[in-house]
Amino acid sequence: MTVSIKDIAKAAGVSHSTVSRALGESPLVSPDTKDRIQRLAREMGYSPDAQARSLVMGRTQTIGIVVTTITDPFIAEIVQAVESTAHDHGYSVILASSNSRRRREIAAVEMLRSKRVDAVIVTSSRVGALYQAHLDQLGAPVVLINSRSEQRGPYTFSVTVDNRHGACLATGHLIRRGHRRIAYIAGAANHSDDFDRMAGYRQALGEANIAFEPSLVVRGTGRVDCGEEALTAVMDRSDVPSAAFCYNDMTAIGLLRAARTAGVSVPRELAVVGFDDIPFAAYVSPALTTIAQPKPEMGKRAVEMALALAGGEVSDLPGFTNVVVRGRLVVRESSGERMQVEHQPASESDGGGSS
């Protein structure tokens, strides 16, 4: 039997409206009854019912976050930032993971709608047309992190990392280290992140007047288990490349592991660069050179954007529908002997609108 304001009212000999006011720090209560009621509430172990409140207020002080899997360390870091800044704004977060299954993702959105969340954040997902329809019906603003919708809806906004820029940074680094034959270990096909990173890879090659060779692009999965396949695809050829830029750190780590078992020396025989800078990138051997995404900032920006859009208490609305932040190159061991760090400030560049 949870105690309600009515119970307190009874105990205090006042009406429930007075209790509501007293608890809500309303100025229209006499100081002493306010004190008395607040003390009573504490003694009786009162806890306000958020649902009842939301029902009348029209806002739940809750945001939803849908992820593929929280098990991905990259996503975990973003979720951490999201939860943290949501908390700072008095919001709580409902977590839904889809395991990359379309049905689960739609179910998640459906569930978040029923729960009447004030906003939802979607991370690392490819948003198809079908899914988008559900998002539009949501009624709540949606902000995508590192995701792209095939068809932009009226309610979607996003914060993304500049994939092209990061890939260009990574590939350029390899080129400056003297590599000319550089493979690209791609992620899942048709993923826009992958598309943009490949574009950056090609751009860097172009700027160095190195011809792009399609056969140096090998399709991976974005998961650690594609390392072996990728390695053989890269090394079993007459003109073996001397370096590989990987779609992400997981791929790179898989490649590293495969290289170790296959006796391929990294970075001597094959230099490797990843993308993401997941926590473990620094602890694999050799430590992974990679592009660091400003994950905490991305999570923070996403919820602030979401709350602003939801008409929350965040002061100023962002003037753009798409916030793009830049990653920075973190040089470690996997790309060569000399230790050095080329620092690219993680500043952002808000592109005015996107689509």
Partner DNA sequence: TTGTAGGCGTTATCAC
Partner DNA sequence: GTGATAACGCCTACAA
With CA atoms as reference, report the closest residue to 254 among 279, 209, 223, 299: 223
Q: Which residues contact 70 (CB under 8 A, 6 or more apart)?
A: 76, 79, 95, 97
Instruction: Give, in order, the Cα–Cα distances in Å from 214 to each of 8, 126, 183, 184, 273.
Output: 73, 25, 9, 9, 19
Token readout for 140 is 């709540």
- Distance of CA 114 to CAs 77, 130, 138, Å? 27, 19, 9
C-beta closer to a second copy: residue 90 or 178: 90
- Encoded one letter per residue, x for contact with a second copy by CB under 8 A and - for no contact, window 186-205 reads --------------------
The two three-digit tokens of residue 128, written as one number? 């198809």
Number of residues located near a second copy, criterion CB under 8 A: 50
106 lies in the binding site for a second copy (CB under 8 A): no
Instruction: Examine residue 353 and tell whether it contacts a second copy (CB under 8 A).
Output: no
Q: Could you tell me the CA-to-CA distances from 215 to 77, 140, 181, 226, 263 in Å, in that order?
A: 34, 45, 11, 17, 23
Residue number, 110 or 350, with CB nearest to a second copy: 110
Q: Which is nearer to a second copy, 182 or 278 (CB)?
A: 278
Burial category of 98 from C-beta neighbours within 10 Å (exposed 0-12, middle 13-18, buried 19 and up): buried
Among 15, 30, 99, 349, binds a second copy (CB under 8 A): 99
Q: How far apart are CA 272 and CA 255, in angstroms?
A: 8
3-state secondary structure of 33: helix
Point out which residues pair with 23 in neighbouring strands: none
Judged by DSSP in three states, 128 sits in coil
Q: Show the site string, 245-264: x = touches a second copy by CB under 8 A, - = not.
A: --------x--xx--x----
Q: How far is the CB of 28 from DNA (least distance, A)?
A: 4
Q: Is residue 276 a contact point for a second copy (CB under 8 A)?
A: no
Closest approach, Cβ 167 to a second copy, in A, equals: 23
Stretch that binds a second copy, among 32-40, 69-77, 269-277, 339-347 (CB under 8 A): 69-77
Q: Which does 4 bind (CB under 5 to 8 A by kind): DNA, a second copy, none?
A: DNA
Residue 113 or 219 having the CB closest to DNA: 113
Q: Is 87 one of the binding residues for a second copy (CB under 8 A)?
A: yes
> From a second copy, DNA, none, which one binds at residue 28 (CB under 5 to 8 Å depending on kind)?
DNA
- Give contact residues for a second copy (rule: CB under 8 A): 2, 45, 47-52, 54-55, 60, 62, 69-71, 73, 76-77, 79-80, 83-84, 87, 92-97, 99, 104, 107, 110-111, 113-116, 137, 139, 224, 253, 256-257, 260, 279-280, 283-285
